[in-house]
């Protein structure tokens, strides 16, 4: 007996809208009290599971090939660190992206203002202006 494999590509950035039936099901699930949810087919996890859990352990983002212009001295420094300089570039950018998300989540303390495009920063440069 041969099984037919069905493969579908889904663009997560452009999902199709929910149908009326799907919306109704979500509303019904949201209205259901916790006491009515059947957990009998889900085994209870011991507390040690959560103590040793690692968030995003199996997450592997897709990679996109691109061209980026980097200062020569920065590229030389990255390459001087040894093999894997592109992975290091990605790790540096990811760390900055995640810290940006964290800063956006926390209420502003007024200490660090983001320069507005077209305004002069403390260095005299126009924020958001292209650098030659």
pLDDT above 70 for 120 = no
In a domain, 96, yes or no: yes
In a domain, 93, yes or no: yes
Q: How far is CA 48 from CA 42, 51, 55, in A?
A: 17, 5, 15
Tally of residues, the chain:
132
In a domain, 28, yes or no: no
> What number of CA atoms fall less than 13 Å from residue 111's CA on the CB side?
4
- For the segment 15-26, the average pLDDT, to the nearest whole number, is 93
21 alpha-carbon distance from chain centroid: 30
In a domain, 100, yes or no: yes
pLDDT for position 70: 94
pLDDT for position 124: 55
pLDDT for position 78: 94
Tell me the residue range of the domain where 95 lies: 64-106
**How many structural domains comprise the chain?**
1
Query: To which residue do tokens 């949810």 refer?
Result: 37
Rounded percentage of the chain residues whose pLDDT exceeds 90: 39
In a domain, 80, yes or no: yes
Coil vs helix vs strand at 129? coil
């Amino acid at each position: 007996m041969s099984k037919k494999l069905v493969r579908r590509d889904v663009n997560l950035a452009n999902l199709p809208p929910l149908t009326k039936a799907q919306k109704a099901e979500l509303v019904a699930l949201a209205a259901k009290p916790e006491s009515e949810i059947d957990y009998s087919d889900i085994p209870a996890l011991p507390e040690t599971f959560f103590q040793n859990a690692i968030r995003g352990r199996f997450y592997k983002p897709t990679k996109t090939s691109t061209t980026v212009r980097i200062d020569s001295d920065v590229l030389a420094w990255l390459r001087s660190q040894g093999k894997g300089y592109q992975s290091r570039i990605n790790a540096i950018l990811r760390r900055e992206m995640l810290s940006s998300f964290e800063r956006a989540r926390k209420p502003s303390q007024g200490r660090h203002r983001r320069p507005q495009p077209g305004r002069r920063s403390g260095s005299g440069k126009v924020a958001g202006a292209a650098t030659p």
